[in-house]
Amino acid sequence: MSYTLEEIARLAGVSRSTVSRVINHHPSVRPEVRERVWRIIREVGYQPHAAARNLATRRSQIVGVVIPETLPKVFSDPYFPAVLRGISDALIERGYHLMLSLLSPQQEEDFYQRALRGRVVDGIIVLSARITDPLIRRAYQEGLPVVSIGRYPQEPGVTYVDVDNVGGGRMATEHLLRLGRRRVATIAGPQTMAPGIDRLEGYCAALQAWGLSPLPEWIAEGDFTEAGGYMAMHRLLPARPDAVFVASDLMAVGALKALREAGLRVPDDIAIVGYDDVELARFTDPPLTTVRQPIYELGRVAVHLLLRQLEEGTREPQRVILPVELVIRSSCGALREFGAHELSSESFIGS
């Protein structure tokens, strides 16, 4: 049914080793022999057996992508497919396969043992929101190749790539300040997640750069959901803000609802800037000014960082931060004054 190297060798009148060399494009094979071998291979449709090759090379050419089960609920529509496409495209270009693992916390241990220690995969990319993801730490400590998508401050040696959440938060907030708003509040994300922490940091930095100090009553923590945004907005109302930077569009939708119920007009009474630029952001009333992130690129860069570890054996941690851009729509009230345009944060790459 299925051919082996040895059989191809016999058919081509050469040895097993020569066929192996041909397949692996090893230079030291006479052109005529190489041609003859390729012909036989094509003729019989020979395909080397992956497991045998993996065993001999101790490489599987498979990269694991780990997504904690809770994530897709939080990161809304474009995020998940876009980052996967970035990863997938980059892996295919480099001849790797993608093993996707959507894991609940209980399944992580088993995955770690079977897939990573059992060498089903050569390395993993973890899409973790949790700042203390145990899988990343463990893989890193055991010397298994791992890249985190999302900052990983817990363990300074871990290689990661992230979007510029601090810069995005700062940019969004400064945009509101520049429009003349002075009572700028924020609905922050959960302070257990790097994006939640970083976007809030950007907010605070912007205020301080304008000589304002971030007051506790202007900061409400949400959980990145619509309901969370709704409730957070209610907690913010007594402080009478004239603008709110909301750390996710989904929360912004909830906030808009709360404002509508409170009889406040957006952007006249209160300006809103969201974050993520989800599909929905174009359809809210009014359409959301928001921060767009290079999600696809995030995936591509993660792959490059991982393969650098795999193929070049780089052990020094790499850190890449990708720039984000402000997408101006109506909810911030800028359109009447400036016309639509986009702003972009600075990109910086460190190691």
**Where on the chain is the footprint of its own copies (CB under 8 A)?**
45, 47-52, 54-55, 58, 60, 62, 65, 72, 76-77, 80-81, 84-85, 88-89, 92, 97-103, 107, 113-115, 117-120, 279-280, 283-284
Q: Binds 107, which of its own copies, DNA, none (CB < 5 to 8 A, cut-off by type)? A: its own copies
The whole-angstrom separation of Cα 61 and Cα 310 is 10
Measured CA to CA in angstroms, residue 77 lies from 161, 178, 196 at distances of 21, 30, 18
Paired tokens of 268: 């006249």
Residue ranges that bind DNA, judged by CB under 7 A:
2, 4-6, 13-18, 20-21, 23-24, 27-30, 33, 48-49, 52-53, 55-58
Smallest gap, in angstroms, from Cβ of residue 135 to DNA?
A: 22
Smallest gap, in angstroms, from Cβ of residue 101 to DNA?
A: 21
Q: Binds 23, which of DNA, its own copies, none (CB < 5 to 8 A, cut-off by type)? A: DNA
Residue spans of beta strands (DSSP E) within the chain: 62-68, 97-103, 123-127, 146-149, 159-163, 184-188, 219-221, 243-246, 271-273, 290-292, 319-322, 325-327, 342-344, 348-350
Smallest gap, in angstroms, from Cβ of residue 112 to its own copies?
A: 10
Q: Binds 44, which of its own copies, DNA, none (CB < 5 to 8 A, cut-off by type)? A: none
Smallest gap, in angstroms, from Cβ of residue 90 to DNA?
A: 23
Q: Binds 29, which of DNA, its own copies, none (CB < 5 to 8 A, cut-off by type)? A: DNA
* Cβ nearer to its own copies, comparing 30 with 58: 58
* Cβ nearer to its own copies, comparing 286 with 323: 286
Q: Binds 27, which of its own copies, DNA, none (CB < 5 to 8 A, cut-off by type)? A: DNA
* Cβ nearer to DNA, comparing 16 with 257: 16
Smallest gap, in angstroms, from Cβ of residue 98 to its own copies?
A: 5
Q: Binds 280, which of its own copies, DNA, none (CB < 5 to 8 A, cut-off by type)? A: its own copies
* Cβ nearer to DNA, comparing 47 with 107: 47
Q: Binds 141, which of DNA, its own copies, none (CB < 5 to 8 A, cut-off by type)? A: none
Asked if 203 and 210 touch (Cβ cutoff 8 Å), the reply is no
* Cβ nearer to its own copies, comparing 97 with 137: 97
Smallest gap, in angstroms, from Cβ of residue 52 to DNA?
A: 3
Smallest gap, in angstroms, from Cβ of residue 18 to DNA?
A: 4
The whole-angstrom separation of Cα 286 and Cα 37 is 66
Q: Tell me how far apart the terminal alpha carbons of the chain are, to the nearest angstrom.
A: 51
Annotate 142-211 with three-state secondary structure: CCCCEEEECCCCCCCCCEEEEECHHHHHHHHHHHHHHCCCCCEEEEECCCCEHHHHHHHHHHHHHHHHCC
Paired tokens of 277: 């630029």
The whole-angstrom separation of Cα 40 and Cα 79 is 46
* Cβ nearer to its own copies, comparing 100 with 340: 100
The whole-angstrom separation of Cα 239 and Cα 230 is 16
* Cβ nearer to DNA, comparing 118 with 153: 118
Asked if 279 and 252 touch (Cβ cutoff 8 Å), the reply is no
Asked if 173 and 247 touch (Cβ cutoff 8 Å), the reply is no
CA 323 to chain centre: 13
Smallest gap, in angstroms, from Cβ of residue 35 to DNA?
A: 11
* Cβ nearer to DNA, comparing 52 with 262: 52
Beta carbons within 10 angstroms of residue 3's beta carbon: 16
Question: Residue 163's beta-bridge partner residues?
Answer: 322
